Amino acid sequence: MILSTWLRDRSAASPPRLAARVEEMLGVGLDADVSDAPRIFVRAAETLLRDVLARPSAGRDIALDLLTVDALATYAFEAASADARSLPALADDAMRRFAATARASSA
């Protein structure tokens, strides 16, 4: 199954703007096999988090992007839950990536 099909099955109840932003952040990753979903979601969340943290202001204008980062991270763990043995490694990778992104933005 490709990632776009997997995602559409889960995002039907999402607000349309959020669903569209998630898909925008995934880009060509939408065509990947769902087995790669956790990695693709985490990388997309990391990319958007880096963008959000680089902005000079943190007003309401970043709300959609923060919700998108959260949705991408949530989808990563939902996809990984198909094989619970992969969850610890995904959690470690996501924490390292997100922490490094935060450290780099404050430097």
Helix (H/G/I), strand (E/B), else coil: 33: strand
> Residue 76: what pLDDT?
96
Distance from C-alpha of 104 to C-alpha of 78, rounded to nearest angstrom: 28
User: Quick one: DSSP state of residue 107?
Assistant: -
State pLDDT tens for residues 53-72. 998 877 888 999 999 999 99
Taking the alpha carbons of 76, 9, 26, 23 in that order, is the dihedral positive or negative?
negative
pLDDT at 12 over 80: no
Instruction: Look up the pTM and report it.
Output: 0.92
- Average pLDDT for the chain: 93
pLDDT at 82 over 90: no
> Residue 91: what pLDDT?
95
Place of tokens 């349309």: 16
